[in-house]
Amino acid sequence: MSTTESEQPLTGSGVDARQRLGAVGRALIRPWLLRADARALAICRLIVFYYCWPGFGGIPAALHVPLFSSPVLESIAHVNTAATGCALVGLLYGFTAPLAATLGLYQNWVVQSSGKANHGGLLFTSVVFVIAFSRAADAWSIDALVRRLRGKPRPRPSAAYRWPTTFIGALVATQYGAAGLSKLIHSGWQWGLSGQLRWRLLSHQFTHSPPTRIGVALARSLPLCRVLGTSALLLELSSPLALLSKWAFRVIMPSLALLQLCIWLMMGVYFREMIAIFACLLPWNAAVAQLDLLAAKLPALRRRLARKA
């Protein structure tokens, strides 16, 4: 019996291609299935909603946007502040956290629709939604305390506490990757090889307030500016690789955070929200595990000190 072309066995190259695709797929899926401690996600909740609190106020009035009446806007601001505070301490988290995230989305809609572009704010709004719809209040929260008082056991490590930070890492990697791709499409490699970075370093001395004079010193060397500009572009383009390898993640994410720090030091462009986002990507699960080991050793340490005394 003859077989069609699609039914014929794969050649060696076809098998290798499928294996490579399978390896890439496993590398993408594996981080989402790893277990994490509920306290690690609770730390991210505290970081994110601390940066959200006390909510917004005065933005529509400052931008002169006729959306609602002043009393309605003031009421929204009060509700947002209350919801953010409750989400911060983990009180009725399943209701207050999504409410705070939705009102935060409204805030960014007002700002973005009024001609004020806030790149960090857009990403931060997505991060807030990720944390708000996760189980970030299963530890170190009022809701968790109530469950403990009712006799319920502490939550065990689970992938439910890992996927939010993995999602945040994916958001960061794709945003920076898209930024690098946009530069490459619209300006090509000339974005880094031209004197554009030099011009930006100097122009921001007049339009912003850099905390240092590093930008002025670097602008004196055009070749150095070209190297730095090309390096920044390559870093942004390579950021999606952080999704494929934990080692690439450990190199690329700190490098992106350092890039943001350098932008602030040299140009005075301060993305406040990015501090919270990169803080969520710190290895909190390992830190919590080390705290548990230290806590387990404390009784023996106390006994030793008591004997010496």
pLDDT tens for each residue of 42-65: 999 999 999 988 765 544 444 555
> 135-166, pLDDT tens digit by residue?
999 999 999 999 999 999 999 999 999 999 99
Q: What is the pTM of this model?
A: 0.86
Helix (H, G, I), strand (E, B) or coil at 282: coil
The whole-angstrom separation of Cα 267 and Cα 228 is 14
- When pLDDT is cut at 50, 70 and 90, the band that residue 209 belongs to is very high
Cα–Cα separations (whole angstroms), residue 35 to 31, 52, 156, 159, 197: 9, 27, 9, 4, 42
The whole-angstrom separation of Cα 51 and Cα 276 is 7
Instruction: State the average pLDDT over residues 108-112.
Output: 72
Sequence-ordered list of residues with C-beta below 8 angstroms from that of 248, at least 6 positions apart, any chain: 241, 242
The single residue listed with the structure tokens 């997505």 is 126
pLDDT at 26 over 60: yes
The whole-angstrom separation of Cα 236 and Cα 233 is 5
Sequence-ordered list of residues with C-beta below 8 angstroms from that of 211, at least 6 positions apart, any chain: 264, 265, 268
pLDDT confidence of residue 224: 94
Alpha helix positions (H), 8-92: 12-33, 38-52, 59-63, 70-89
What residues form DSSP beta bridges with 36?
158
Instruction: State the average pLDDT over residues 108-127.
Output: 75
Find out whether 232 and 193 touch, Cβ atoms under 8 Å. no
Find out whether 165 and 270 touch, Cβ atoms under 8 Å. no
pLDDT confidence of residue 1: 43
Q: Which of 109-118, 122-131, 176-185, 251-260 has the lowest mean pLDDT?
A: 109-118
pLDDT confidence of residue 295: 87
φ, ψ for residue 158, nearest 5 deg: -150, 160
pLDDT confidence of residue 2: 47
Mean pLDDT over each residue of the chain, to the nearest integer = 86
Find out whether 173 and 252 touch, Cβ atoms under 8 Å. yes
Q: First vs last Cα of the chain: how many Å apart? A: 90
pLDDT confidence of residue 62: 47
Give me the percent of the chain exceeding a pLDDT of 70. Answer: 86
Structure tokens at 13: 């190259």
Give me the percent of the chain exceeding a pLDDT of 90. Answer: 61
pLDDT confidence of residue 25: 75
Instruction: State the average pLDDT over residues 110-118.
Output: 67
φ, ψ for residue 196, nearest 5 deg: -65, -45
pLDDT confidence of residue 67: 66
Which one-letter amino acid corresponds to residue 57? G
108: nearest Cα among 144, 63, 151, 149 = 63
pLDDT at 4 over 80: no
Helix (H, G, I), strand (E, B) or coil at 39: helix
- When pLDDT is cut at 50, 70 and 90, the band that residue 301 belongs to is confident
Find out whether 101 and 132 touch, Cβ atoms under 8 Å. yes
Rounded to 5, what percent of the chain is helix, strand, coil? 75, 0, 25
Where in the chain are the domains? 37-161, 163-280
